[in-house]
Structure 1
Amino acid sequence: MKKVFTFTMSAIALVALTACEPERGSDAWCKKMDGVPKGEWTLQDAGDYTKYCVLNQKPGEEQDNR
């Protein structure tokens, strides 16, 4: 019974922490990434930071390369 309770509480904590993550590309996400050491970024983080925080493209907005 104790294992079930521990598993349930762990799952609830994981969902709660994941739900608090700012949307990728939002101003809050850019500010959060400014505080994360660059060595801990993934390639996806670096690309999205450049696209959303440096080039100011909004999430869901496609860039026209014409």
Structure 2
Amino acid sequence: MQLATGKALVALGYKDYQLRRWSAEGRIHPVGTAPGGAHLFHVPTVNQAAKWYAWRHGNPEVE
């Protein structure tokens, strides 16, 4: 399973505010907690949320 913390997702190019917004909207959900207490997210789910957001807002740069 491909899991990452929010900090790791930011390193992959996601904005921290996007992750918080998508989580608040129920588009992504933490699937666990890392030893330091950080939430873990399923990376393919986050990627799918990004694709949906890009499609919804007409951003052709995201595949």
Class of the TM-score when normalised by the shorter of the 2 chains:
under 0.3
TM-score with structure 1 length normalisation? Answer: 0.24
**Larger Rg computed on CA atoms:** 1
TM-score with structure 2 length normalisation? Answer: 0.25
- Is the strand fraction higher in 1 or 2? 2
- Is the helix fraction higher in 1 or 2? 1
